[in-house]
Structure 1
Amino acid sequence: MHVFNWTLAYACATLGTSLDFARIVLANPTPFSFVANLLLVGVAFFAVRGAVLRYAGHSFDRILIPVFLATVVCGIWFVFIDPSIFGRGATSSAGAAAMFLIGAWTIAKAARQDAIDRLLFATFALTAATLIARPIVTYVYEGPLQAEAEVAGSLWVVSFKVFAMLSWFATAILFLLRITTDVMKDLAAQSLTDPLTGILNRRGFFIVAEPVLRDVRPGLPAVLLILDIDQFKRVNDTFGHLTGDNVIQGLANLLRQASKDSGCIIGRLGGEEFVALLPATNLIAGRAFAEGLRAAFAAGSHEGVPFSHTVTVSIGVAESPGGESIDSVIERADGALYRAKREGRNRTHIASDEASPGVVPQGTATGTCRQASMAFRQSMP
């Protein structure tokens, strides 16, 4: 939507400039000057409205529209009721300046800013300052213009044309840079995100998780979970692929809710297989977290699946004290997952040394389990 508003701004600029040049050869240029002024104020309105939509996420129409309408009313007054070339131009400049200041303020309040944002803020602020200073300077040097014939070669018009050319050119470049950068960021995010669930895909998970795993130390280990929905093909074959997608989204929502604000990195490796990396977590806490997920998922419901049919998940858990690749940790967790599947499904299996317990059978209750179960129920429709 902000791109559309910026397009309208430059459409107004093209029409307004064309009318402004046309008045030179017209016998009665006043109506054309009035419309040209309105279109040039429209440039400010749509440029700022687009910026507000981009940086604030919503329009400030309750402020921008009254400013625009007040400028139009003043223009009508100084054209048809109390004709004044200076009054018409000064009120147009003041209205446009007010809108550009709103745009600059919105950009300044944005949470995240890059070089393009800062340059756009500076351009908006400088444009507003110039629009305010221009009537004052021209009034001091030329006084109030009395006739349309005086306008063509005046400092008023010459300064405007030079300023407008520079301002519109700079703003157009910044708008194009902002749009291009946003599109590239969206494409990059899409390339790392699973479209069905909205969480990281396999590539995205590896990119995010690898540096986290490199920072793991023996005193501050990490735990990796591999989760696989049990007998998922039967779910698809019995209830349809749409229901299968609902089940996959249900597990993704459970992971998202259970890991919220915990620093846990989650992703979908493909099909019905998911992964979660828990930084600064030991095997005991990781196992409790996994068992909480398992029990919560089994207790949940899914659209399209009858209550008489329970969908479960098996989980493999591996702890990493550091010094190994993410592929190695995933391989060990995957081996634990395979054993969980082989020993009956709907269970959590631990990849650990012989001194550690290997299997957590279904039915184990922990505080983490209850938290995950609550998070799952909140995520369900």
Structure 2
Amino acid sequence: MPRIVLFENIHASAREVFVAAGFDDVVTHAGALTGEALREALQGANAVGIRSRTHLDQAVLADLPDLRAIGCFCIGTNQVDLETAALRGIPVFNAPFSNTRSVAELVLGEAILLLRRIPEKNARVHEGFWDKTADGAYEARGKTLGIVGYGNIGSQVGILAESFGMRVIYHDIEAKLPLGNAHATSSLKKFLGQADVVTLHVPGGKDTVNLLDAEAIAAMRPGSILINASRGTVVDIPALQRALKSGHLSGAAIDVFPTEPKSRDEALDSPLRGMQNVILTPHIGGSTQESQENIGREVAEKLKRFISSGTTKGAVNFPEIAYHEQAGTARIIHIHQNVPGAMGALSNLMGEFGLNIVSQQLQTRGKIGYAITDVDGEATDQVIEGLRRHPITIRCDRV
């Protein structure tokens, strides 16, 4: 019976998936843990589920010999040391699709609010002023929406925007097939000068740090709007603040920040606070009941399939092998060093233990090789231990 530990108030739909599969040993924690508390909570865990605040680095992973799989119940996986996890034979799964609609709706809603100057109008009415004027307020129809990063979320934003009559352009470092009437642009600088609203949907990492820096923001169309619901490091916040204060940009909506509060009791430290033409939200792009339920089910299903059958389809750091029905009397998963002769050595070992290979699938990725082998014969503890002792073996288990 696998032991599964879930952190950060993951939706109950995840537990439902595990229990339905017969995995009753599920431990939940409402928040994130750190240091010794995290290590203690994970002792004996075979699978762990986290969101964005729980960090599994090299030091933590080194203390978890029983850990077989990690589920990130979100899109991002930068809170996990992916390379260390792979080298320890631990696939990492995430939810790249389940919250796309929630983020897309938030972005489009914010674009409309900012085009109409609703944040500042709202604040003025609360202060007792009846500022009934159309100055600086515009319809979304006919405006150009520029999408930086035309992936799962960016493309859906574009489809929704077109239904409001917006013209959609996008910029991506990879060639992407446009949906609807969207048009790709090759130059980021020219792209920024064409858009009335720019929305960012790029991954985190060193390649996107300050992608929208002072120079890029200066290239944006005067009076345009910037929306960031991707990663906090993508925008140079002081440069954005200056552009808003000077009037070069008419508004902004920011859902993610370079440094975010660790709890609801900690205040956000940002120069954008107090600006009436800025919408600030606490990293809630994907925080709807629908998306959290979908995420819980999606990632739990991936973890369940790996534990039950060894399939790694959808893993972000690991060779991917799709599900197939077991063909023999036993199934052995073998994670090994990707070196010449590895599969020959594995097959010879199985033969020495009297196992007949009925079906075998192999995929490699970087330094890692992953084989799912169905055999006729008895895969005893002695057999598994024998396979584990071979120098090429990283991890070996029955499923």
Classify the TM-score, shorter chain: under 0.3
Q: Which has the larger radius of gyration?
A: 1
Q: TM-score, normalized by length of structure 2?
A: 0.25
Larger helix share, 1 or 2: 1
Structure showing greater relative contact order (alpha-carbon pairs closer than 8 Å, 6 or more residues apart): 2
Larger strand share, 1 or 2: 2
